[in-house]
Structures are given as structure tokens and as C-alpha cells.
Structure 1
Amino acid sequence: MNNIINWFEIPATDLKRAMAFYEPVMQLSLRYENMSGVEMAIFPYEDPATGGALVKFEHFAPSAQGCIIYLHTRDLKATLERVDAAGGECVFGPLELPNDIGTIALFMDSEGNRIGLHQPPL
């Protein structure tokens, strides 16, 4: 086991809206899949890296509480500007962490999820 996390899922009530939010914010293209009736938009990744997706499924609900995942960004300030432009909101930070860990912030996405951003030290 290289990483304790092997997959993550971000709940969405409107997958097209969530894709329209995340693609410009994170500057990437998501891959749509329908797996046994579960709609997913897969974030790009290469094995053995951790993968993840936006997921629309009747048993998942977006939440501002609970676990927080942190998405990598090389430019936290620019990413937060794109969050704002896409209709999201920064709700914490940016906060520079001690011991050369980097800088973090939290935002609310188009679906009502609280998501973290992490910029490694420059």
C-alpha cells in the first residue's frame, strides 16, 4: 500500500453543473462515465496515483460538513479567483502552514461541498 487513499468521490446533485464548475476552476477536463446507473465525472490521473470523481448517485448528498479532501494547486490565489468566478466561495484561508508544508484554503463548490486546496511550498 503506497497511499491510504485510493479513490475519492465528491457528491453532486447536478453533474453537468458540477463539471462546469470544476473544469475551469481546476483547469482540467473531466471524463464522463455511467457505471451501473451511477453518473461520474473522472478527474485525470495516472496509476498508481490516487484517482477520484464527481458522482451523482441517489445515496450520495453534497455536504458542507464531514471529511475534507484537498486538491492540489500550483497557484492557490489564481485557483481561488477561478472558484469565485465559477460561483463558488472561499470559506477559509489562505493559511500558510508551518514547517514548509505549503498553503491551504477551503471553498464551497457549486453543489454545496466544502473542498480544500493545497499549494505546496514555492
Structure 2
Amino acid sequence: MAAPAEGTPCWADATFTDLEGAKSFYGDVLGWTFAEGAAEYGGYTQALSGGKAVAAVVPPMPGQPPVAPGWCLYLASPDVEATARRIREAGGELVLEPMKVGGFGSMLLARDPGGVPFGVWQAGTHEGFERRGEPGSYCWAEVYTREPGRSDAFFPAVFPFGVRRMDDGGIDFKVFTLGGASVLGRMEMTPDFPPELPPYVGVYFAVEDCDAAVARTTARGGKVVFGPLDSPFGRFAALIDPQGAAFAVLDTGRTTGEMPALSEA
């Protein structure tokens, strides 16, 4: 499998204080099973769907300050050092400087100028998602920000993104594209979002039944931010797991309405 093109969402992971609780929750909600944690990498544990790697969960690093649980989306890069330079030049912040992860690849963690966290991954032997777009795996992501103009300028300055505007009832929604294909959304956080919820990248996981996934989430102590809602892209809901990590579920097989038009931003 060839490494994904620069800027492509290629991996997602999350740190949880209660790792076993996270495994139990996502195993129930998304049907994941889990590989053996890698002790040499702090217990980093891959989540599997159909035997394929689709994400990872990890406990906090010993001796490090507490980290609020949250999913981190990684965007592909052929050269993390070069990407780090562009992040700085565009006004972003490097949270973790570029570092090698054995033979698996190299990574960094960053925030855009509005505080949106994300990761960058330069593939080695680990090229990213082994399954995507199928139930139990990654299918989409959106940048949720209270400073949309800063995100709109930042991400295309760091990655080779085009920017399109979605013409849909006055909603401030943009789409970042690669080679004409939509790869990442950008949504303004309106007052409907809980004020304590920081900017984030919402990672969507595909499910066979959105309503059933929401019911499993709330039964396990998770919360609904909004949804379930019907859309031309599928029926979806934005959720928060019991430890406070935001994520979303999408049933792509249940679509409603016409696809909204995209125009030049």
C-alpha cells in the first residue's frame, strides 16, 4: 500500500486515563477489538475492525501533565520537518516537535492559530488506516473552530489544500480538497456548542446504524452534542464519550436530500 498523499487524513488516536474503560466503550459502540499494547511505546494499543488497524488508544505517559481525552487526527506528510516549518510560518504552535517512532514513521503534534489540535504523520512501516469508509472505521473529519478565518488561512498554507465553500442555507462550512476530492471539513463552532468544549477535529467513524450507536453511547455514559440528523452524506451524530473525548458516527447508507453545491471560497 502506497503512503497517502500529503494532507490526507491517515490515522487517529486518543489518550485515555482509563484505558480499559475506553476499550470497553469503543468495543461496544463501534465493535472494535484490540491488539496487544506495545509496552515499548507506552502501552500504545491499536484498535481493530475486521482484523484491520483503524485507530489506537494509549494511556497517559508517566510523569507527564494530565491530558484531556480527545481524538487526534493525523494528516500525512512526506517530510515532518518541512511541515513543522510551515506550521510555524503560518502561525501555528508545535506541541510536540518532530520525532521518530521506531521504524513505524515520524510524527509531530500541533495546534492551528485558533487552538485546533492535530497531528502529522510521515509513514514508515505504518502507513495509516488499514480500513476506512466501512462500519467500524474512519470515514470523515471536520475542524471545529470558533475562529474559522484563521483555520481557513492556516491549513492551506501548511498542506496542498484547495478550499471550497458549501452553499447550504448560510451555514459557515468549508471543505479542504486534494486533487479536487474533499478530504476534510471546517465547521464554525456556534453558540450551540457547549462553551467548555475546546476547538477540536471531529473524527467520524462509520456505523451500520447511527441511532443504535447513539443509544449504545448514552447507555454507557456518553453524551450527545447534536443529532442524530439526516443529511445527504448520511445519518450522523456528534457525541462525547464517558471520559470527555468528542467523536462522531455516520451511517453513510442512509442519505436524505440532494448534495449541496460547492463553490470557490
Q: Give the TM-score normalised by structure 2.
A: 0.40
Q: Verify: 1:78 aligned to 2:212, yes or no.
A: yes
Give the structure 1 partner of residue 37 of structure 2. 33
TM-aligned CA distance change 1:110 to 1:70, over 3 Å? same
- Greater RCO between the two (CA within 8 Å, min separation 6)? 1
Structure 2: how far apart are the matches of 1:7 and 1:106? 19
Q: Cα RMSD (Å) of the superposition?
A: 2.5
Structure 2: how far apart are the matches of 1:107 and 1:42? 21
Give the structure 1 partner of residue 96 of structure 2. none
Contact 1:19 1:41 in 2 (8 A): no
Of residues 240, 244, 262 in structure 2, which corresponds to 1:108? 240
Q: For structure 2, list consecutive stretches of 5 or more residues without a partner in the other structure.
A: 71-196, 255-265
Letter in 1 for 2:60: F
Contact 1:11 1:113 in 2 (8 A): no
- Alpha-carbon shift at residue 71 of structure 1 (Å): 0.8
Runs of 4+ more than 6 Å apart: none
SS of the aligned residue for 1:17 comes to helix
- Alpha-carbon shift at residue 50 of structure 1 (Å): 7.1
Q: Verify: 1:119 aligned to 2:251, yes or no.
A: yes
- Alpha-carbon shift at residue 87 of structure 1 (Å): 1.3
Larger Rg: 2
Q: Give the TM-score normalised by structure 1.
A: 0.81
Q: For structure 1, list consecutive stretches of 5 or more residues without a partner in the other structure.
A: none
Of residues 33, 41, 48 in structure 2, which corresponds to 1:44? 48
SS of the aligned residue for 1:21 comes to helix
Letter in 2 for 1:101: F
- Alpha-carbon shift at residue 23 of structure 1 (Å): 0.9
Q: Verify: 1:19 aligned to 2:151, yes or no.
A: no
Give the structure 1 partner of residue 68 of structure 2. 61
Structure 1: how far apart are the matches of 2:68 and 2:217? 21
